[in-house]
Amino acid sequence: MTKLIIQIPCFNEADTLPETLAALPRRIDGIAMIEYLVIDDGSKDDTSGIARRLGVHHIVRHRRNRGLAAAFQSGVDAALRAGADIIVNTDGDGQYAGEDIASLVAPIIAGQADIVIGDRGVAQNEHMGPFKRRLQRFGSFVVRKLSRTAVTDAVSGFRAISREAARRLIITTEFSYTTDMLIQAGRKRLAIASVPVRTNMTRRPSRLFRSVPQFIINTGITMARAYTMYNPLRAFVGAGLLIALCGMVPILRFLVLWSMDAAGGHVQSLIIGGSLVTLGTLTILLGILADLIGANRKLLEATLEKVRRLEEMLAAHGNDIPEMDEEHGEADRPETLRRLP
């Protein structure tokens, strides 16, 4: 019996949440049970109340706004505890067409993919301006290279995740989970597919970022951090070799002048070159150390996966495992409502 949980991260979405919930499917071929989960990320409006009155099966509420990445991870953890076989993430502003969830989960049901990304057709999407379309296409190109995947819309939040993939993914960024998740998935050799999906015109600006430059900077930092975390040897050794090669230029200059008996007064070239070569060598050594630490991280991730399995087993036997508030060390217990017929 395959259980699908559709999660909706929300921040002050009381106005749009009813329409978003109304568009979600009640029945999908190959899915025995569909439930909804709302993550209220510290909303100041009545988002949780609206979700409760509309019969949402599970509600997770953060005491304060912790960002989209934290909301996504909280939703995934709660969905796993609730026994989800497939998790679909969609936005609370109604940007994505709920009818396309059936297409989104089809590759997972067929056993062809671990993660499925909804491709919004950025190149021809009429709901995006020309500059945003070019920016999205360039960002997807960079993520494809970093993650070694064939994803065509890297920052699409409309995605489906199998239970096994969700257990293995750990969102480490505080900005947006989209690129971090793909780079992790590519590194962990999870099967990723893309399916075309439709979008609706959003009625409000994004709450994830205030301006396009801020989005570019934060996304760039997220991609660099995720890539370095999962490819430390390549990142540090590459940077170290580049620095060392730059250091060789002034050293060679000094040696050429020295062979011509004209090295006097050019000792600074030798000093600068030697410093750069030393810095490059230290960077390479840091890469080796980071790679060794990465091996320890893999053990920690394997341990976390086993802990998640244990939590799921306990939850299946009626023992609720509260989600911990990382900021205050207090329990943010998910509200699990009565399952609707």
**Count of the separate structural domains present in the chain:** 2
* Inside any domain, residue 339: no
- 97 and 22 Cβ atoms separated by less than 8 Å: no
Same domain, 159 and 19: yes
Residue 294 phi/psi, 5° resolution?
-60, -35
Same domain, 128 and 82: yes
Q: Mind listing the pLDDT tens digit for each residue in 121-151?
A: 766 666 566 666 677 777 777 877 777 788 8
What is the spatial distance between Cα 266 and Cα 250, in angstroms, rounded to a whole number?
A: 9
* Inside any domain, residue 48: yes
* Inside any domain, residue 219: no
Q: Mind listing the pLDDT tens digit for each residue in 206-252?
A: 555 566 677 677 777 777 777 887 788 888 898 999 999 999 998 88
Same domain, 147 and 51: yes
CATH number at residue 197: 3.90.550.10
- What is the overall mean pLDDT for the chain? 82
* Inside any domain, residue 61: yes
Structural domain span for residue 289: 232-296
Same domain, 94 and 236: no
**Residue located via tokens 């011509």:** 260
pLDDT at position 336 is 46
Q: Which residues of the chain have pLDDT under 50?
A: 321-341
Longest dimension (CA), the chain: 92
* Inside any domain, residue 337: no
Same domain, 205 and 240: no
* Inside any domain, residue 227: no
pLDDT at position 278 is 93
Same domain, 170 and 22: yes
- Which tokens belong to 182? 């793909």
Same domain, 268 and 170: no
What is the spatial distance between Cα 306 and Cα 309, in angstroms, rounded to a whole number?
A: 5
Q: Mind listing the pLDDT tens digit for each residue in 310-328?
A: 877 777 766 554 444 434 3
Same domain, 130 and 41: yes
DSSP secondary structure of 147-179: HT---S-TT---EEEEHHHHHH-----SS-HHH
Same domain, 117 and 42: yes
Same domain, 192 and 262: no
Same domain, 115 and 146: yes
For helices 267-316 and 232-259, give the axis angle rounded to 10 degrees: 180
* Cα R_g (the chain), whole angstroms: 24
* Inside any domain, residue 84: yes
* Inside any domain, residue 225: no
Same domain, 200 and 236: no
What is the spatial distance between Cα 180 and Cα 166, in angstroms, rounded to a whole number?
A: 13
